[in-house]
């Protein structure tokens, strides 16, 4: 992905994957970035790092709007 920017952070991989699915439905490429040793040590995720969702900088505003519309707050 060229020129990625973080648009959201989620507590779980499931929440991040849900967000990415909503973005994909709008033809916005997104990836998630975690710091849990590639999923081999999932207990690292609750340490406050979270799961970050990144998109191309040029798609950031549209991606944020999609997530605000499609995902419930909280």
Which pLDDT score is estimated for 37? 60
Q: Are 22 and 71 in contact (CB under 8 A)?
A: yes
At 21-42, the pLDDT tens digits run 999 999 999 999 987 665 566 6
* Averaged pLDDT for residues 48-69: 92
At 38-52, the pLDDT tens digits run 556 666 555 556 899
Stronger pLDDT, 11 or 43, i.e. the higher one: 11
Q: Are 52 and 72 in contact (CB under 8 A)?
A: no
Ranges of each domain in the chain: 4-48+57-70
Q: Are 30 and 24 in contact (CB under 8 A)?
A: yes
Q: Are 56 and 6 in contact (CB under 8 A)?
A: no
- pLDDT over 90 at 73, yes or no: no
Q: What is the pTM of this model?
A: 0.80
């Amino acid at each position: 992905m060229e020129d990625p920017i973080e648009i959201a952070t989620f507590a779980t991989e499931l929440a991040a994957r849900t967000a990415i699915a909503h973005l994909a439905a709008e033809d916005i490429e997104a990836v998630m970035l975690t710091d849990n040793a590639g999923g081999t040590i999932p207990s690292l995720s609750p340490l406050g790092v979270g799961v970050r969702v990144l998109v191309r900088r040029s798609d950031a505003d549209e991606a944020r709007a999609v997530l605000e519309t499609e995902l419930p707050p909280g």
